[in-house]
Structure 1
Amino acid sequence: MSKVRIYSLAKDLGVDNAKMLEILDGLGVSYKSVSSTIEEDTVELIKQILEEEARDGAPAAAAEAQPQTTPPAQAQAAQPQVNQGQAQGAQPQVAAASSPTATAEREPQVAAAAPAEAEVPHRAPVVTIMGHVDHGKTSLLDYIRKTKVAAKEAGGITQHVGAFEAQTSKGRIVFIDTPGHEAFTTIRARGANVADIAIIVIAADDSLMPQTREAIAHAQAAKVPMIVAINKVDLPQADAERVKTDLTQLNLVPEEYGGDLVVVPVSAKTGEGVEDLLEYISLTAELEDLRADPKAPFSGVIIESRVDRQAGVLATVMVQQGTLHVGDFLVVGEGYGKIKAMTDSAGGRIKEAGPSTPVQVLGFSEAPASGETVLSAKNEHAAREVIGARASDRRDSENARERRKLTLEEMMGELGETRTVNLILRADTQGSVEAIQGILARKESDDVKINVMLAGIGAPTEGDVLLASTAEATILCFSVTPSGGVKKVADTKGVDIKSFRIIYELIDEVDRLLKGNVEPVFEERYLGRAEVRMVIRHPKSGNIAGSYVTDGMFRRNAKAKVTRGKAVVYEGTVVGLKRFKDDVREVQQGYECGINLDWEGVLEGDIIEASEMVEVEQA
C-alpha cells in the first residue's frame, strides 16, 4: 500500500498543515511531523472528513479552504507591495492581507468570518544558520542569496544590512546573514529571541564537531525549532548516514530513524537539496503559526550596528511588531534617535517596513548594542522622557543593591515539582568528560533531571557564559580554569563558574544543586589534636608547625583552632600538610607532620585542634 507525506496531502487537498494534523489527532493517527507519511486508507478517511465538513458548511473547513480561493497570479502580483511578505504558500490571501491597506479593506469580513487570532496576519520566518567552522554556513547563505534574492541596483547607504530576504515558492524567508551561535546568543543574552528557526549545518565528511555541539546547545536553550542541513553531500567522502547516527548520541533522532528531527542533505556548491531545505523551513514556520500585527505599536531588535565614516551610525533593526516609518523616533536602551533614512536588505531606500523585515536605519547618535530592544516614541519629548526614566531606574537599582543572583528555589521551582538542573561541563580530556557525564546520569531521579547543555574539552568560553546566562545554568570545570576575561563576563552576568581538581568535590557540588531549595544544615565535627614541637621557617610557605598528632587525625583544608595555655589565640584553616617533603591530604594519630596555617604566629608548645563542617542529613 502506497504512502503519502502529510504536507503533500495537505497541499493537494487545499488545507494547511495545522488543519491536517488536527484531523490526524482526531483519528488517533500517530506522526512525528508534517513530513511523516500516512497510509492510503487514512488518506481516504481524511478526504471523507473534509467532504463532510464542506457539505455541512463547517466554519473550520470554510476558514481553512478560504485562502486557496485567491488565484496564484493575483497573490504573486500583490507580493511586492507587502512589507512582511507571505509567511505560508498555502495561505496567500492571509499573507497578502498583511499590507496595511489590504488589512483595512478586509477587516470587517475577517472579523465576521474567522476566529479572533486569524485577524493578525502571518509573518515571514526569521532564520539563523549555525554550526562548526568550515562546515559551510557562509557558503550555504551565499548560495541562497544568489539564487533567491532578486538582483537590484543598490541605491542605499550600504550593501550590508546583516540580514536578507529570500523569495521562495512558499513565500518570504528572512535569513540573518551573520552565521554563528555567538551572534545568536549575544542577541538572546539581552532578552531578545530574534530567530524563529535554527539551521544547524554539519559537513557530511566531518560529522559532529565541538562547535556543532555548542550550536545545538544554544538552539535548544533558545527553544527554537531546529533543522539539520547535512552539507557537502557532493564530496566523494561524504557520509550522511554517519552524521545521522552521531546525532542520535545527542538524543536528536532523525525522522527516518523514528524521531522528529528534520534532516536535509544539501550541497552549498551544487545547490542539491537547497529547495528541500527552504520547503522544510516554510513547513516548520507554518506549524509555528508565526503572526504579527502591522498595526500594533512598533517593537524590534538590533541585529548589528556600526559607524560609517561618511554616513555615521548605521543600525540594523529587525521589525517584530508594527510598522516602522522614516521620521519615527526610536528608543534603544538609554539613547534615542530619529530615522533619517531606511535601507532594505537589497540596498534600496524604503519609507516603511512591517514585521519580519530587516532594515538599516540612519539616525542614531551612538551605535546601539546587538540584542537591544527598539521601541518607538511619538516625538522627541516622549523619547527623552523614556530614557530619563530608564536612567533613573538603573541608578536606583545600582545604589540599592548589586546585581541579584537567582536563588536555587527560583531556578528550580518549588519542592514537589519535577525540576531540571542545567549544567555546562568543561574538562581537560574527553575521558574526563565521559566519566563525569556517566556519574551525572546516575544522579537523576523522578524529581530532579540533569540537563548537560554542553560538554566539551578546554576552558570555558564567553559563549559558554552567554549560554549559561540565558539558560540559568551553572558552569562546572574539571582540571581547567576560566581566563580572567571569562571570569569578568561571568561576574557581570551573574553566572556561577565552579572549578574542581578532585572529581568527588565536583560531584558534591552537583549533589548540592540537586537538593534545590532545601537549605543545607551543617555542624562542626571534631577531627583531631596535634602538639607543636618545633616551628620551621620556610621562605615560601611561611612558618610551618612541626607537630605530632596526639589524637584523631588532621586533614588539609580543615578548620583549625590554636590554644596557648587556656587561651584560644587563633582560629583559621589548615592550608597545607606535609609528611617529610611530601604534600599529603591527611595525617593519622601517632604520626609527625608539618602543619601550615594561614597564620604566622604559631609557637612551640601550642596545641592545634582540627575540625570540619559536615552537612547533617535531614529527615
Structure 2
Amino acid sequence: MAKIRIYELARDLNMTNKVLLEKLRNMNIEVKSHMSSLDDEVTARIKTNLLGTPEKEIEETRIKSTIIRRRRKPVPIEPVRVETDVEPVQPKEKELPPKKEPEEQLKKDVSERVVEDKEAAKKDVPEKVDAADKGVEQTVLAKKKHKIEKPAVSKRKKPAVLKKLKPKRAVKKVKKDISAKIIKLPITPPPEKKALKIEKDRVKKPIKKVAKISTPEEVAPESVDLQKDLISKGKKKKKWIKKLDEAVRDKKFFKKKISFRKKEVVEGADLYAKGHRGRKGRKIAKTKAAVSQQKPLITIPKAIKRRIKIDDTIALSDLAKRMGIKAGEMIKKLMDLGVMATVNQTLDFDTAVLVAAEFDYELEKASFEEETVLHVVKDDPDKLITRPPVVTIMGHVDHGKTSLLDVIRKTKVTENEAGGITQHIGAYHVSTDKGPIIFLDTPGHEAFTKMRARGAKVTDLVILVVAADDGVMPQTIEAINHSRAAKVPIIVAINKIDKQNADPERVQRELADAGLVPEDWGGDTIFVQVSAKENRGIDELLEMALLQTEILELKANPDRLAMGYVVEAKLDSGRGAVATVLIKHGTLKINDPVVCGIHYGKTRALLNDRGMHVTSAGPSIPVEIIGLSGVPNAGDDLISLADEKNAKQVSAHRIQKQRSKELAKTSRLSLEKLYEQMQKSKVKDLNLIIKADVHGSIEALEGALTKLSNEEVRINVVHSATGTLTESDISLATVSDAIIIGFNVRPTSKIQMLAHEENVDIRFYDIIYNVIKDVKDAIVGMMSSTFEERILGRAEIREVFHVPKVGAIAGCYVTEGKIERGQLARVLRDWVVCYDGKISSLRHFKDDIKEIQSGYECGIGIEKYNDIKIGDIIECYYLEEIKPELEQ
C-alpha cells in the first residue's frame, strides 16, 4: 500500500507540521516526527476527521485539478453546455453537505468521474506518443474500472462527459469557485464507502505527489501522470518522449531519476514562492533527513582487534588513535583513576594497561626485535682468522702521544693539529715487519673524556704514554680507570727520556701507587722507555704490543655481514655525512645497506686512513664511509644488512624509541619543581650555538662549557651540529639571542654578511683552551658585582652652628681616620643610625677642603639633614666594588 508522510499530509491540509502532530496525538495516532509515514486507511480517517468532505465533492475537485494542470487549448463549445456544467456546482459550495448520501448515487458519480479522467487523458496525449505509453494508460484505467462495481454506466455517459470537459476556461472558472476556504462538517462515511474513498485517494495521489510514492504497486499510475506532465512542456516534447521510452524499459532509472524530476515539475510553483534553491538543495535536504533518522550503529571490534601491542611507553594521543577512542574520553578515564594527563602525555605500560582495560582493550608489550631483523648469528670457529690488533694511545696532554704515533707511522700529524694538541680521535693503519697494527689516537685534554672512553671501548690494547719529566697527571689516572673499566691490558710507554730532567724511576713509583706494577718489580705491567724525538725504543714498543696481542688470540670472521663502531663522525659540505668506522666483524663493501645509530643508508664510498678509495674493509680496518642519511653519534654501532628495507625499518624503530624517551623526560610540575623554576628565572642565561668539524669536538665543548654554569649564570647549548655555519644557525641565534662558537669551521661570505646585518656574535676557535677562557670572561661580565663597605673615619660633634640659607653645620673633631668631602656618611646617636646620607660641605676654619685627617677640627655639613645634636658621631665610609671570579 502507498504511504504518505506527515509533512506531505500537512501541506495538503494547509496546516503546519506542529499543528497536525498535535491533532494526531489527540486522535490517539502514535507518530514520532513529521517524517513518519501513514498508510491510506489512516490517512483517510485523518482527512475525514479534519475536513469532513463528502466523497462526491472530493472527486470533483480531483478531476478539475487534473484538467487545470494539463492546460489544453480551448476548443469552441456551446455556451449552454458549459453553463449547465457549472451551475450544479455553485449551490453545492454554498450548501452544507448532507449527512447521508444514497449508496447507488455515490457509485454512479464515481464511475462518471473515472470515465472523465480516462477520456481527458486520451485527448491530452499527443498522437506521437508510443504505443508502449498508451499501454500503460490502459493498464491503469483497467485497474480503476475493475475496482468499481458499475462499468456499464461509465460507458453510456462517455460522449456527454467528453463534451463537457473539453473547454479549459470553464474548468479554470470552476477551480476558482472551489476553494480551500469552504468549511465542511465532519462526516463519518459508512463502511461500504470506505473502500471507494481509498480507491479515489489512490487515483488522486499520483497526480499531486508522484515523487513521494515509491512502492511497486503504484509504478503504473506514476508513469501515466508523469507522461502527461512531461509532454506538456511544449518545445522539448520529442526529447522527453525518448527519455520516457528508456524509463519504461528501465524501472530502476524510472523510480530514482524521473520520479525525482517529476517532483520538480509538480512543486516548481510553490518553490518559486519560497525561493527556489535548485535540485541539489532538495536532494541534500532529503539525504540529511534520511540520515538523521538512521540510528548510529555501535560496532564492537573482534577480540583479536581489541588486543594492541605497544612499546614500554606510548603517547596518550597515539594510544587513543589506535584504540579508536577520543582522547578526551581517555583523559576522563585517567582522571577517574587519579592520573592527570594531557594529550601529549607519555604513559608507561602499566598505566596504559589500566586505562585500556576501562575500554575493554588488552595491551601487550611488543618491543621491536632488532636481533631477529639484524640476523646476529654466532660465528663458525672454522671460519675465524687472525685479525690485526687495535691499539689505543692514551695519556695526559702534551706527554707526546701523537709525536710517538708520528714516529711509528713516519708522518707529521702533530704539525697539522692546532696548537700542537690532538682534538680529534684518529684511526690509523700501520704495517710493521711482524704484521699490521691499528692505532687509535685519543685527545689528552680533560674535556675529551668521552673520546677516551670510546677509545678504550673499541680497543684490544692500551699504550699509556707518560712523560718522564712530568710524571703521573690527572688525565693519566683517568686513562687507567677507562682501561680497567673496559678490561683492556695496558702497556706503559715512558716518553721523553732524552730530557735532562727525566726521571723514569719516579714515573714507575707513581704508577705503582696507581696500581700498575712493572714486571721488573714483580708485577704484570710492561714498561718501555721511548723517545719520540730521537726515535729510541720504538721497535721494542711495537714488539711488546704484538706479543701482548698474540696472547689475546684475536680472531674474526670476514665472511659475514659487517659490524663496527663509529669512532668519529662529521658533516662535510661536499660529501655529506662522513663517519670514521672501525670494523669489528665481517667485511664492509661498497653499496652495502647499513644501520648506524638512528640513521641508515648505503656505503657509497669507502676511504682508508690516508684518503685512498677502497672497495672493502675487513676486521679491525678503519675506514671512512659516505652515504648515511645523517650524522651519527660517535660510539654508535654500525651494522650491515642484506636488505635496505630492513635497514630503514630498524632506523624508523630507533627514531620512534628516541622520541618516546624525549617525551618521557617532560614530567608533571610539582611544588618543588615550581620553586626551582622560580629560582632559575632569576638566573641569567648565556645561550650558545656550537658548530664543529666532528661530533667528538662538540661533545668535548658541551661538557667543558656546561661545567662553567653557576648560581648566577647558566650556560645553555641551544643547538650543536657538525658542519659549516648555515642561515638557519643565524636565524636561531637571532631568535634565542645566542653566541655562535665555530670550532675548526669557517663561514661563507654570505653568512658573514647575514650575521653582520642581524648583529649576531660569531667566535671562531681551533684550540679548546681559548674557547673556555672566553666563555669564562663572558660569564664574569654577566655576573653582578658585590660591594663591601670601607670605613674612612669618624668625627665627634662638639658644637652645632645654624647658618642662614645653609642649614645646620656640625663643629666636629676628627677622632680617627679621615673625613672626605662627597663621601657617604651616617649620623650615629648613641651608636644607633639616625640618618644615612652624604657629606655636602667640609671646611677647616674659613677654607673649603677636600679631606681632613684625625686630630683636627672642622665643620661638616650633612646633605638634606639638619637634626644634628652635640655628642652625635659622623661616620664617613665608601663602598668598594668586588668583581666576581669563577672558581677554578
**TM-score normalised by the chain length of structure 1:** 0.43
More helix by share: 2
More strand by share: 1
Q: Larger RCO: Structure 1 or Structure 2 (Cα < 8 Å, ≥ 6 residues apart)?
A: 1
Structure number with greater Rg is 2
**TM-score normalised by the chain length of structure 2:** 0.31
